[in-house]
Amino acid sequence: MSTEEPLVGRLAPSPTGLIHLGHARTFLLAWWSVRSRGGRVVLRIEDLDGDRCSPEMVDAAKRDLEWLGLDWDGAARLQSTGIERMAAELAELEARGLVYPCVCTRGEVRQAQSAPQAGDAEPRYPGTCRGRFASREHAAQRSGRTPSLRFIVPEGPVTVRDELRGEVVFDVAASVGDFVVARRDGAPAYQLAVVSDDAYDGVTEVLRGDDLLPSAARQRLLQRALALPSPAYVHLPLVLDETGRRLAKRERDLGLYDLASAGADPRAVVAWAAQSAGMRVPDRLTAREATAAFARDRLPREPVRLDRVTLEHLRQAR
Ligand code: GLU
């Protein structure tokens, strides 16, 4: 009997916008990393952000992945199908006193900041509601607001082992504070949902953009609290545009849908993604053909730039 753990990766698009070239590259690399070692890939559509997800966008996400030549094992699963499991986990955390109801608004959290933070960094939650209410009902009655639930972050360092960067140490209590695990509308927040789902899907490797590296520390804390396994993490530096900014979902000219509609060749996109990740491949090939060229030790440690010339090349009709 083999004691080796089966290798399972995942594609986890949020259908809140169009999949662009930056996401495409991450999905391809996540897929190659697993497929090159004979592992399974699950597709999970992260549709919990209710207001922004539509059924058309779910179909669009699948269509874009298929255009890239990616496949997955089993049927695509919507994250929202796991809501009951997540509610049970939240109830467990509540029963063990590891979370508390919070009625602070975003504005109040921001105002309570001692020093404003630069850019879009999330403000640290100062713990205003910690120990304030006996239950969610009590919080609602006393404040007239529907509470969210926050996880009590223990003091001290949290270490994330990342395959590219080694051990990265975060101080979640000092940088983020107690974070939201259930939103006001009752839906599980991203950090809880992703931890719950990765465990449920048996995911052993998470390859994603390094904008989510700080989140990995929060996810480690939740995995520990819920006694769930932690997958191996690979956080990849993102794709930047010519001016050095992150590619945004609203930039339509970078969207796969527009590329596909304009008759672009997915094999050119595949080649660009592969070459940007140090893979030695020809200028056009399918995702499947590139699999054997995947080399984890050549993954870049720096962001890659997508310049105009490359973009024009990728948009050319075949
Ligand atoms: N659904 C998330 C996104 O598209 C990815 C979450 C994750 O990889 O943990 O940004």
The residue behind tokens 């101080």 is: 171
Does 290 sit in the ligand 1 pocket, CB within 6 Å?
no
Give the residue numbers spanning the domain of 166.
83-193
CATH number of the domain bearing residue 14: 3.40.50.620
Burial class (CB in 10 A: 0-12, 13-18, 19+), 270: buried
Q: In whole angstroms, what is the distance from residue 239 CA to residue 21 CA? A: 8
Closest-CA residue, ligand 1 atom 5, reads 12
Q: In whole angstroms, what is the distance from residue 312 CA to residue 268 CA? A: 11
Q: In whole angstroms, what is the distance from residue 318 CA to residue 315 CA? A: 9
Question: Which of the given ranges, 47-51, 57-61, 291-295, has the highest pLDDT on average?
Answer: 291-295
Closest-CA residue, ligand 1 atom 9, reads 194
**pLDDT score of 116 more than 50:** no
- What is the secondary structure of 126-173 as a DSSP string? --TTTTT-SSHHHHHHHHSS--EEEE-PPSS-EEEEETTTEEEEE-HH
Q: Report the nearest atom of ligand 1 relative to the CA of 209.
A: 8
Cα–Cα nearest to 8, from 197, 165, 193: 197
Domain membership of residue 225 (yes or no) is no
Mutate which of 11, 27, 190, 247 for ligand 1? The one with the most ligand atoms within 8 Å of its CB, which is: 190
Q: Ligand 1 centre from 9 Cα, in Å?
A: 13
Mutate which of 29, 208, 210, 246 for ligand 1? The one with the most ligand atoms within 8 Å of its CB, which is: 208
Write down which residue in 127, 161, 193 finishes a domain: 193
Mutate which of 10, 11, 14 for ligand 1? The one with the most ligand atoms within 8 Å of its CB, which is: 14
Write down which residue in 133, 162, 193 finishes a domain: 193
Q: What's the whole-model pTM score?
A: 0.93
State which amino acid sits at residue 141.
Answer: Q
Q: In whole angstroms, what is the distance from residue 244 CA to residue 179 CA? A: 30
Domain membership of residue 199 (yes or no) is no
For 26-39, what is each residue's pLDDT tens digit? 999 999 999 999 99
* Cα dist from 56 to 18, 68, 154, 300, whole Å: 11, 18, 41, 34
| Same-domain status, 189 and 242 | no
The full length of the chain comes to 318
The residue behind tokens 């690979």 is: 234
Domain membership of residue 221 (yes or no) is no
Q: Ligand 1 centre from 2 Cα, in Å?
A: 32
* Helix or strand run (H / E) with residue 10: strand 8-11
For 117-157, what is each residue's pLDDT tens digit? 444 567 899 999 999 999 999 999 999 999 999 999 999 99
> What's the chain's average pLDDT?
91
Strand 40-45 to 77-78 pairing: parallel
Q: Report the nearest atom of ligand 1 relative to the CA of 219.
A: 9
Classified as helix, coil or strand, 180 is strand
| Same-domain status, 297 and 243 | yes
Question: Which of the given ranges, 15-19, 60-64, 199-203, has the highest pLDDT on average?
Answer: 199-203
| Same-domain status, 99 and 173 | yes
Higher pLDDT, 66 or 252: 66
CATH number of the domain bearing residue 144: 3.90.800.10
Q: Ligand 1 centre from 13 Cα, in Å?
A: 6
Sheet containing 77-78: give its strands across. 8-11, 40-45, 77-78
Cα–Cα nearest to 215, from 249, 182, 252, 172: 172
Does 216 sit in the ligand 1 pocket, CB within 6 Å?
no
